[in-house]
Structure 1
Amino acid sequence: LPHLISNPQVGKDIVLCHNDPYAPNVIFNAEQKSVSLIDFDYTDLNFSLFDVASHFAGYCFLDKVDISMYPTHEEQKRWLTVYFRARGMDESLSNDTTCRLIDQFSAVVHLMRGLWSLLQAHISTLTFDFIKHGKIHFGYYQKMRQSLFD
């Protein structure tokens, strides 16, 4: 993480983040052409790219668990171009360096969700296999960590 934190491209962009923007928490209204977020339990200050990474990491858990659903760098760049334009930022930030940062944050997202799942296994009253869910996230973290942090 130190190289993420020391990167000026990331370090200067701490904003109010949802911190859990996976698909069920993002509501699209086709008629009004608007997007709304729900479930603000984890909202706090964070790096904006962490929220983007969290959103992309959630793609792996849409209909089934499938890491191949994680967006390629080309898909990320298309998404980021619209995102940066909407924020009034330089669209040239939609580049491989930014995608690599997002991939690194995605590894951290999987680590955090794995830890969260283990905690939920002990405190939640829901009938959900949090241990299995956590193991999946830890597995994704291991795969991403090997290629991004070693």
Structure 2
Amino acid sequence: MPNPLVQALIAHFDSVFEGPNGDYPAVLEALSGISVTQALWKPLPKQNSIWQIVEHLIASKEWQIDMLKQGQAASPVWTDHSGDEIEWQAALGQLRDAHHRLKLALAQVSEDELLTIPVAEWNRTLLELILSSGPAHEAHHAGQIDYLKGLQAK
């Protein structure tokens, strides 16, 4: 069983990702019922679609996993998508899988490692890096998804 600090981190990640958290939609709540057409829609050509936000969240979780396991992470590789239902559902599955693997990676880190391991590139400890790139970042994007979903409901 992970230590209390890690348990609290995992619970916070779960609250923001799966809900419930009361004040704003969790990521999965915001994504609920979104069709491929909605996922691909952009309010303006240079803005991101819901699908692109999902890909960004996957890349962010992969980055956090790599930072926890290796202390460094590669830049994500962005790919184009065909825009069919199977590919959209696969992207949602990848997001859920990345969340699960992030929780497993967090569970393997000790409290001491979180509090003392410096990540020189970011001038932060591992805990500070995970907190700044984790739940608050996901909550921000859940709000974006919910907003884009609402714009399409007019």
Q: Which structure is higher in RCO with an 8 Å CA cutoff and minimum separation 6?
A: 2
Higher helix share: 2
The normalised TM-score by structure 2 is 0.28
Higher strand share: 1
The normalised TM-score by structure 1 is 0.29
